[in-house]
Amino acid sequence: MERAVNSSRGYTGGVPFYEKWTKSEGIPVIDGYYVEDLNKVPVEPWHRKGGLGAFVNLEGNEELNDAYVCEIAPGKSLKPQKHLYEEIILILSGKGTTAIWNETGSKQTVEWHEWSLFAIPLNVWHQHFNGQGDRPARYVAVTAAPMVFNMFHNLDFVFKNNFVFTDRYIGEPDYFTRGEFTAYPEAGRHGDNVWESNFIPDVRIIKLHPGVMRGGENRSQRMELANNTLSQHISEFDVGTYKKAHSHGPAANIVILNGTGYSLLWPEGKPHIKIDWHQGSMLVPPNRWLHQHFNTGPEPARYLAIGIGTPSPKHPFGKIPPMGEDFSLGLGYGQIEYEDEAPEIRKLFEEELRKKGVQIKMPPVKRRR
């Protein structure tokens, strides 16, 4: 069993425009497979933002999405910004407000605190304010910047574009308070009961629904924020259980919201990479790598996934065929059923539970002959 090591898998070719831009921003760039704790990521002065920051560009994003951590000094604010790429924000610590405005509506604000989730409408002016004078506020954002930068490779077009996306935001007074369930039957199972909103007050307590396909007494909820292509879902699984191994495309940024445990990542036929996680950890499984999540703690484990790797039922990104990650690998799809998994998977899980004094709640495996 290999331990998780943050190291590049390598890339050949020219330097993408997005990569040149990140280097020019003058802040750290974190790579590898995972981040042990987003609250402990070293951040440095970020002139463009007016705060402290670091990029978190993990292997599995493959420059389809990116992420960054930003910190706002006590009682201070960041500079006003707008940009031509989507952005989803998860508050890691602190509390404060964000103001948004454009030419079609009056300025409005949303109040946030730890574990609030919201989206910045596309190309809308916004500014973040730390509401506490005695401690910094920190957030992690997942954006579609790499695709936009690499397509247009022009900074003025990205940051100084005056086009108003009236289908995204027109100054609606209930923009950050409305929410409703919508079904998108054409998206199959992933289009059922999608929660459409622009602000989730606390992702740790949002109600989830049974999702039996992945096992482990799984519960989940798919969400759509701000009419974006970037999509999100929350998943939770019980104490003493683990989810079925599966694979899918790149750019699914996973942030642990509650619980402790580990994940295994591996390309088919290669050794497993073991990543230990807890609240605030982040990982991105590489493209088509099998991965599997294990709860070894005393409470249900919950995570949030953001990105193109979690396809939007409302605004799918092109005519990408279904990935089949919820159906058996034996049928030519991306999921490994419990009865088909390697025996060492269950053995390792039982060993990890014994170390923690947690009782396994999985039924015995009946292996296929």
Shared domain for 206 and 64, answered yes or no, is no
From 159, 188, 211, give the residue that closes a domain. 159
Place of tokens 């990890």: 352
Residue 261: name the closest of 216, 211, 299 by CA. Answer: 299
| 286: in domain | yes
DSSP characters for 291-305? EEEEE-SSS-EEEEE
Shared domain for 233 and 93, answered yes or no, is no
pTM of the model as a whole:
0.90
Q: Is the pLDDT of residue 326 over 70?
A: no
pLDDT digits (tens, 9 = 90+) for 105-164: 778 999 999 999 999 999 999 999 999 999 999 999 999 999 999 999 999 999 999 999
Phi and psi dihedrals of 23, rounded to 5?
-65, -35
Identify the band that residue 51 occupies on the pLDDT scale cut at 50, 70 and 90.
very high
pLDDT digits (tens, 9 = 90+) for 294-323: 999 999 999 999 987 666 766 666 654 444
When mean pLDDT is compared across 12-21, 92-101, 167-176, the lowest value belongs to: 12-21
Shared domain for 48 and 105, answered yes or no, is yes
When mean pLDDT is compared across 88-92, 241-245, 324-328, 343-347, the lowest value belongs to: 324-328
| 3: in domain | no
- Six token digits for residue 80: 């006003």
Shared domain for 191 and 332, answered yes or no, is yes
pLDDT digits (tens, 9 = 90+) for 128-138: 999 999 999 99
Shared domain for 44 and 119, answered yes or no, is yes
Contact of 242 with 264, CB cutoff 8 Å = no
Cα gap 27→10, rounded to integer Å: 22
Q: What is the DSSP letter of 21?
A: H
Shared domain for 25 and 154, answered yes or no, is yes
| 166: in domain | no
- Containing domain of residue 224, as a range? 179-356
Mean pLDDT of 74-101: 97
Shared domain for 184 and 146, answered yes or no, is no
Shared domain for 52 and 132, answered yes or no, is yes
Using a 10 angstrom Cβ sphere, with 0-12 exposed, 13-18 middle and 19 or more buried, the burial of residue 142 is buried
Shared domain for 265 and 348, answered yes or no, is yes
pLDDT digits (tens, 9 = 90+) for 26-41: 999 999 999 999 999 9
DSSP characters for 159-187? HS-----TTT-S--TTTTT-EEEE--GGG
Query: What is the domain-level CATH number for residue 43?
Result: 2.60.120.10
Q: Is the pLDDT of residue 78 over 50?
A: yes
Domains of the chain: total? 2
